[in-house]
Amino acid sequence: MVLVIVLIVASAALVSWRWVTGIDYMMKNHPDYKGEDLFDDLHSDDSITKSAGRDAWDDNNIHAEGDIW
């Protein structure tokens, strides 16, 4: 039981250390990065056509289970 607790604490410490190291790396090497490409508001740019979801669905191309054979 003690070994499991030690492994959990050690792995949490390793993940925390790598996370802080990554944040420090980004602050030093990419100070102007704002994360807008990852966490940007999806509705902020209406000029981009959305190809995922219902907008790109083709209603005329229906494949039913009986069409396989």
Cα four-point dihedral sign 7, 8, 9, 14:
positive
- Enter the tokens of residue 54: 């219902």
Q: What is the pLDDT of residue 69?
A: 56
Residue 64 has pLDDT above 80, yes or no: no
Residue 52's contacts (CB-CB under 8 Å, 6 or more residues apart) are none
Residues 34 and 41 sit within 8 Å (Cβ to Cβ): no
Question: Please, how many CA atoms are within 13 Å of residue 57, restricted to the half-sphere of its CB?
Answer: 6
Q: What is the pLDDT of residue 53?
A: 52
Q: What confidence tens digit (pLDDT) does each residue in 10-60 have?
A: 999 999 999 999 999 999 999 988 777 776 655 555 555 555 555 555 556
pTM over 0.95: no
Per DSSP, the three-state class of 39 is helix
Q: What is the pLDDT of residue 35?
A: 74
